[in-house]
Structure 1
Amino acid sequence: MDRQRLSRLAHARHPIAAPLADESVARLLERATGHAEAGRLLDLGCGEGAWLVRALAARPQWRAVGVDLDPDALTRARETATALGVVRRIGLHHVDVREFASAEPFDLVLVVGATHAFGGLLPTLAAVREQLAPGGRVLIGEGFWEREPSQAALEGLGANRDDYADLATTTDRLTTNGWTPVDGHVSSQQEWDAYEFDWTGTLAEWALDHPDDPDATAVREAADRHRTEWLHGYRGTLGFVTYLLRRD
């Protein structure tokens, strides 16, 4: 079935497409935007705009731009922004994040759970730097190895050992490339488990509630497959860190 539709269904109860609890999202956004009364925010791979609308609701003088390839997700983002009364301060673009360009730089750029679109963490930051205003900040989320991955973990993720490093090495790569972490959050096992149970459970329940839908079998199979890959593969092996970065 359509992967974008599958993702929208899976994240219906967890609109942040990463293992982050609501309180973690709120704290990271407060740290990322709290230094300025007004500013411009860019979210590359914004999905349904969960980060954007939360930031705009909390910061009345900020403006935001979201970029994503899923037109239905962008429609949902616009509907949510309208319901929260922030739609006049948000611009949404249906375009590949690698092709997006703006005439004005941004005070904060978000790329959380979407670094794969650029080919990894450092290529993402290289691209983001072109969008960043002097003194701007980057909020970026990336996976890392909590422990040496087993073959089952690699197969479950469809990953190679070199796709990630441990947390220390990941952080060292940032600092070596001229970025300074000024805050960060390592997702807990509880956050991971809540995210995965939401992801698989929402799909499974949708399939049970829509048995006559042509995609019901594919959705149920995706839920069952993902649950197995998580519980019998990468649980406790793949970590997730969200950095708040500034340039040296």
Structure 2
Amino acid sequence: MDRQRLSRLAHARHPVAAPLADESVSRLLERATGHTEAGRMLDLGCGEGAWLIRALAARPRWRAVGVDLDADALPRARETAAALGVVRRIGLHHVDVREFGSAEPFDLVLNVGATHAFGGLLPTLAAVRDQLAPGGRVLVGEAFWEREPSQAALEGLGADRDDYADLGTTTDRLTADGWTPVDGHVSSRQEWDAYEFSWTGTLAEWALDHPDDPGAAPAREAADQHRAAWLHGHRGTLGFVTYLLRRD
């Protein structure tokens, strides 16, 4: 099963592909857009458009653009946007986020849990800098080490120790690069556990319900491996922070 399909299945009950509860998403969006009644937002790595569609549904004078390489996710985003009556205010582009450009800047740029597409947090911020309107904001989510990772945690994540830093060092790197955190959210253990149980459980249940699908066995294997890596490896080690940033 290809990675994009696996991710879509795993996130069916948790459309925000990050360890964030609904109330956390709502608060972050309110804080990110509350400075102006009308604006333009861009999500680089939008998937099925969960952040954008949710924002547009509550903000009738905002417009949005979503960019993603998953050709199957974008029609789903369009269907959801149509069902909620916001499809005329959203543009969806099937293109590599590294190649996307716009003639008009954006008041808010999002990249939550997709910094890998640019090669990390600071390269992501370097890429979005030119997309921002004066006074614009960036909502970016990134992993960090809650504690020193064990070898089991690193192996389960397929990560190296240097892939992430602790929260303080991660924040220091942002400020040294000319960004000011004006708000943020560190995902709680409860948010992480709910996200991981949803991810693995939804995928495993799909496999149980579709035993004749060629993807059933790979999906079940992926769910079992991910659950074991989480519970016996990185639970309590890998953190997740969502920053709201402005340029100095």
TM-score (norm 2): 1.00
Offset from partner CA, 1:78-105 (integer Å, 9 cap, x none): 0000000000000000000000000000
The equivalent residue for 1:224 is 224
Matches within 5 A, 1:194-209: 194-209=194-209
The equivalent residue for 2:72 is 72
Once residues 3 and 140 of structure 1 are traced to their aligned partners in structure 2, the CA distance between those partners, rounded to angstroms, is 22
Paired amino acid for 1:226? H
The equivalent residue for 1:210 is 210
The equivalent residue for 1:40 is 40
Once residues 6 and 172 of structure 1 are traced to their aligned partners in structure 2, the CA distance between those partners, rounded to angstroms, is 35
Paired amino acid for 1:29? L
Offset from partner CA, 1:186-220 (integer Å, 9 cap, x none): 00000000000000000110111111111110110
The equivalent residue for 1:5 is 5
SS at match of 1:98: helix
The equivalent residue for 2:130 is 130
Identity of aligned residues (%): 89
Shift of 1:2: 1.2
Segments of 5+ residues of structure 1 without an aligned counterpart are none
Once residues 121 and 8 of structure 1 are traced to their aligned partners in structure 2, the CA distance between those partners, rounded to angstroms, is 23
The equivalent residue for 2:161 is 161
Once residues 103 and 161 of structure 1 are traced to their aligned partners in structure 2, the CA distance between those partners, rounded to angstroms, is 39
Once residues 87 and 51 of structure 1 are traced to their aligned partners in structure 2, the CA distance between those partners, rounded to angstroms, is 14
Offset from partner CA, 1:1-55 (integer Å, 9 cap, x none): 1111100000000000000000000000000001101000000000000000010
Paired amino acid for 2:54? R
SS at match of 1:239: strand
The equivalent residue for 1:60 is 60
TM-score (norm 1): 1.00
Root mean square deviation of aligned Cα: 0.4
Once residues 119 and 172 of structure 1 are traced to their aligned partners in structure 2, the CA distance between those partners, rounded to angstroms, is 19
Paired amino acid for 2:138? V
The equivalent residue for 2:15 is 15
Once residues 187 and 89 of structure 1 are traced to their aligned partners in structure 2, the CA distance between those partners, rounded to angstroms, is 30
Offset from partner CA, 1:117-156 (integer Å, 9 cap, x none): 0000000000010111110000000000000000000001
Once residues 214 and 156 of structure 1 are traced to their aligned partners in structure 2, the CA distance between those partners, rounded to angstroms, is 25
Paired amino acid for 2:69? L
Paired amino acid for 1:166? D
The equivalent residue for 2:82 is 82
Once residues 112 and 47 of structure 1 are traced to their aligned partners in structure 2, the CA distance between those partners, rounded to angstroms, is 11
Once residues 199 and 109 of structure 1 are traced to their aligned partners in structure 2, the CA distance between those partners, rounded to angstroms, is 26
The equivalent residue for 2:245 is 245
SS at match of 1:71: coil
